Amino acid sequence: MALTVTAKVTNIRSLAEARFCAGMGVEILSFQLNDNGLPLEEAAGITSWLAGVKIAVDAIGLPEENLKQQIEFLQPSYITVSESQLISWQNQGDPGFILQLSDVDLLSIQNKINIFKDSAEFFEISYQSTWIENGQEDLFIEISNNSRIMVAFHSLDELDDLFRTGKIFRSISLNKSNFKEDDFRKAIEMFEEMD
């Protein structure tokens, strides 16, 4: 059974993790190649064994010269960037961009999506439970129903709460380092069962 959403998993650290995700239908595997991530050569070794998935590099906080080297070496389909990085990189003909929006205000997020809609292929927003608690559920659902919006979840509890509402998401992002191994597998399987 394939995943019913576009899924990105960040912080892949081994070939076993990458193969599990690819086998479950995860579309984008993202590598953090900063001081807390993998060495570039290890990431390249993992990607050389993969087929059928797109590779992304998480560029948040990376110096520009390091990012250029990683793009040349890994040839990713996407790079995840902040707003300031997107503004400086958008006309350089690099891979597609996943713009990570750090805003927590949904109206601000919606405004930035409109501003950068021609520059980024995906927008990643970090799920906030206050959106539901403060009566902004309709706006959150409207924004998240756009297939270019990846909603980043940080725990199995967040996913459980949202699944109880019966809402369907088109695109998700999971940072593997935020989940215990069993919880991560459960999270992926939850999206396999959605339709």
For residue 35, pLDDT beyond 80: no
pLDDT at 83: 87
pLDDT at 93: 62
Task: Give per-residue pLDDT as tens, 48-76.
Answer: 888 889 999 888 877 777 777 778 888 89
How far is the CA of 104 from the CAs of 6, 96, 123, 145, 171, in angstroms? 22, 24, 13, 17, 18
**CATH superfamily to which 6-193 belongs:** Aldolase class I (3.20.20.70)
Between 129 and 27, the more confident residue is 27
Lowest mean pLDDT among 3-7, 25-29, 45-49, 177-181: 3-7
Lowest mean pLDDT among 58-62, 129-133, 164-168: 164-168
Domain regions of the chain by residue span: 6-193
Between 101 and 191, the more confident residue is 101
- Residues present in the chain in total: 195
Alpha-carbon gap, residue 12 to 5, rounded angstroms: 19
Q: Name residues whose C-beta falls within 8 Å of residue 144's C-beta, 6 or more positions apart in sequence.
A: 125, 151, 167, 169, 170
